[in-house]
Amino acid sequence: MLALMVSSADALTRGGAATITSEGTIVTSNGTSVPPLPQAGRWTEFESKSSEQYDIRHFMYVVPQEPPAIELYVTTNKGDETPDGVFETGLVNGFVRGFASKAGFGYDEPVFGERYVGQAKTRHALTRMSNGRQTLWVHAYIYPRKPSLTFIVVTGKEGVQEGIETYLSRVEVR
């Protein structure tokens, strides 16, 4: 535990709302800890984006020779507003539109509802995409806080929600 705390503190001094520790865990500025998945691979950070109001850090869990297993967006509202998940909902909508457009899929608009994962209250959506030959499902979980977490999983398998939520229940949300 002490090693994780030291690694987390060292990682956060390098800057930003979130970083990857040497143990492969993502740690946010508020102490939330996102462990690696229980499969071969690692968290990798991709290009971060910012606007006048939000900082966005983008991570993917990269598995060798497979598509990313899960994506994580860590968003920080630069103002004093209470996090409500509205910006993150737009982020998910944009992700679905962009993915579907690039891959030639039609899609259903994401519909969000509240859902508890472990003790944490989330906004959750399950969206279906199809191109006539293949169907994909997009699972999105938003944890509104400062910084907020948005997990997105794209899968070709139906009925994997329980497995995703089992993993997400291991996230130490602060």
Partnered with residue 59 across adjacent β-strands are: 45, 72
Domain that holds residue 15: 2-168
Identify whether 134 is part of a domain.
Answer: yes
The pLDDT of residue 2: 30
Taking only the tens place, the pLDDT of each residue in 75-119 is 999 998 889 999 999 999 999 999 999 999 999 999 999 999 999
As for how many domains the chain has, the answer is 1
The pLDDT of residue 88: 97
Cα(147)–Cα(48) distance, integer angstroms = 14
The pLDDT of residue 58: 96
Res 22 pLDDT > 70: yes
Structure tokens at 117: 């994962």
For residue 152, what pLDDT band results from cuts at 50, 70 and 90? Answer: very high
Identify whether 174 is part of a domain.
Answer: no
Residues of the chain by 3-state class (helix, strand, coil), percent to 5: 20, 40, 40
Res 1 pLDDT > 90: no
pTM (2 d.p.): 0.89
Q: Give the residue-averaged pLDDT of 155-160.
A: 92
- Residue 116: which CATH number? 3.40.1000
Res 35 pLDDT > 90: yes
